[in-house]
Amino acid sequence: MANILIVDDENDIVELLKVVLQKDANNIYASYNGKEALEKIGLLPSNNTPLKIDLMILDVMMPDIDGYTIQTKMLENESTHNIPILILTAKGQMKELFSMASNVAAYIEKPFDPDVLKKKVQEILSKNQ
């Protein structure tokens, strides 16, 4: 069972991902903005214990802190630099920006096929077990 954090400001996307990924008995957590995500993983001060996650599914374009900034902060921090990230975005032209990041395991464009995403998540998680 894996702990997966979904970070996306689109509620419909988060709900769809929850349905698709919970079928495999994963623990799914959600953040609807970048600040909340950084708090949940312990990179911004919070009153909660940081989540131990096995995978982050990350949108790029969000209103407060964008996905590129989150990915960079995770890469720079010893406690989060090995957490694989699956970029899920409508911004196809951003792929090259993430291609050199060692913590980005996959890049999928919206709209996406839920079966393709589920398979990619399974591949990423199986590599890191």
Q: What is the pLDDT of residues 51-93, one digit of tens each?
A: 999 999 999 999 899 999 999 999 999 999 999 999 998 876 6
Domain count, the chain: 1
Average pLDDT on 15-38 reads: 94
| CA proximity to 103, closest of 74, 63, 127 | 74
Q: Which pLDDT belongs to residue 56?
A: 98
Higher pLDDT, 5 or 93: 5
76: left (phi over 0), alpha (psi -120 to 50) or beta: alpha
The separation between CA 116 and the C-alpha centre of its own chain, rounded to angstroms, equals: 16
- Domain residues for the domain of 92 are 3-127
pLDDT for 128 equals 75
CB-CB contact of 92 with 109 (8 Å)? yes
CATH number of 63's domain: 3.40.50.2300
Alpha helix positions (H), 26-113: 34-40, 67-76, 95-98
CA distance 55 to 48: 19
